[in-house]
Amino acid sequence: MKIAVCAGEKSGDALGYELLYDLNKNNKNIEIIGVGGSLMESQGLKSFFPIKEISYMGLVDPLMNLNKILKIRKNFINYLKKENPDIFIGIDSPSFNSGICKALRKDTDIKTVQYVCPQFWAWRYSRVYKFNNLYHKIFSLFPFESDLLKKHGVNFSYVGHPLAKSLSGEIDDLKLKRDLGISPNKEIIAILPGSRKSEIKHHDKPLSDFINKYKKENPDAEIVLALNKKSDLLGQLEKLSGNIKVIFDSSQKVLSVCDLAVVASGTATLEASILAKPMVVIYKSNFLSNFILSNFFLKTKFIALPNILSQEKIIFELRQSQVIGEQIYEKVILSLKNKKIISEKLGSIKKSLLVSESNKFTKAIQEIFSK
C-alpha cells in the first residue's frame, strides 16, 4: 500500500510519527510519501519539501505568505496525482490539507483522511456539514469532538492523543532535575513562551515583567525558560537569561519537574495537563489577527485546551490585553495556593485521552477500504 501524508508543523510531525510507527509495525510492503519533519522521516518518509515552508501561525502570517503557500500546495497536489497513493492523510494544518483533499476527491480515487479534527466547534461551525464530502474519515483526538462528529453523521475514528501514552511513565524527579541542572530543593516555575518566533515576540515583555516581579518577591524560586532552540532566545528574555535557567529542546522534561508553568496556548498546555501540572495559559497575537478571530470566528467560551476538554474553568487563561506581567503574577500566586485541587482535576483529562490499541490507525484505515 502506498500512503501519502502531510504534516505542516512540529506538533503534526509528532502525531505523524505515531501514525507511521503503527502502519510500519502492522503492515507489510508500506510505501510512505509526502511531507513531514525529522520524526516522520525516521519512519521512512522522504519529505517532498521542508515542513517549515508551510508552518505559519494565526491569520495574518499565512495571508502574508498566501501566494507562496498556494504555489507549494498546487505543486504537492500535482505530485500526489502523479504518484497516485492509495490514501492521503492530512495531519493537522486543516486549512492547507483541506484543499488537497478537495482536489483529490474531485479528480482521483485516492481515499482522504484528516488526522486531527478541524476545530469547527471553535470557529466556522458550518464546516462540519462538508466533512463527509472532503474526507473519507476523520481521526479524532478528543472525546467531545467525537461526540459532535457522531451527532452530525461524520465518519470518524477516535484515536485518542499520543501524548497521553508517551507521558504516562514514571518520572524520577530528582534524576531529571539533576540531568537538567535544576536545583532539587527549590520551587520551580517553568516558562514556555511558544514554539514560534512570532509567539515569543508577543509574549516577551509580559513574561520578562513577570519574571522580574516573581524573582523579587520569591528570590529562592528557580525560573526555568524552556525554548525549542537557541535562536528563540531573543528580546528582553535574552537579557534576563543570565539570571534564570534557560533550557533548549526539553520542554516536556521541564514541565515534568516544575511546580507550575506559564504556558503559551497550544500543544504545551496539553502536555502540562497530562502531567497534571498547574498552569497559567497566555495568548497574545498581533492586533489584526485577534480582531478578526474575536469578532468573526471564535465561538468557544475558553481558549485554553484544558478548560475546553473539561468544559469548566480549571486553570487561569489570559488573552491579549490581559497578558501583562502583573496579571500573570497574580494568577500564578492564586494557582499555587490551589495547586492540589488543580492537579486532581487535570488528572482526569489524561484518562480520557488514552487509547492503548497498538494497531488503531491500521484498523481505522482498513475500515475505509472495507466499505
The reply to whether 2-160+355-370 and 173-353 are identical in fold is yes
Per the listing, cell 535557567 goes with 245
State residue 354's pLDDT score.
87
State residue 255's pLDDT score.
96
The pTM of the full predicted model, rounded to 2 decimals, is 0.78
State residue 168's pLDDT score.
73
- Spans of all domains in the chain: 2-160+355-370, 173-353
State residue 58's pLDDT score.
54
Cell of 158: 477516535
Q: In CATH, which superfamily holds the domain spanning 173-353?
A: Glycogen Phosphorylase B; (3.40.50.2000)
State residue 300's pLDDT score.
64
State residue 296's pLDDT score.
43
SS (H, E, C) 263-312: EECCHHHHHHHHCCCCEEEEECCCHHHHHHHHHHHCCCCCCCHHHHHHCC
Is residue 205 exposed (0-12), middle (13-18) or buried (19+ Cβ within 10 Å)? middle
How far apart (Å, rounded) are the C-alpha atoms in residues 36 and 3? 13
**Ranges under pLDDT 70 in the chain:** 52-65, 286-300
State residue 367's pLDDT score.
95
Q: What does the mean pLDDT of the chain come to?
A: 89
How far apart (Å, rounded) are the C-alpha atoms in residues 109 and 87? 9
Nearest to 345 by CA among 255, 282, 272: 272
State residue 64's pLDDT score.
65
**Phi, psi for residue 66 in degrees, rounded to 5:** -60, -45
User: Is 2-160+355-370 in CATH node 3.40.50.850?
Assistant: no
Q: Tens digit of pLDDT for each residue in 310-330?
A: 889 999 999 988 999 999 999
Identify the bridge partners of residue 190 per DSSP, sorted by sequence position. 224, 261
SS3 content of the chain, % helix, strand, coil (to 5): 55, 15, 30
Task: Tell me which DSSP letter residue 10 carries.
Answer: H
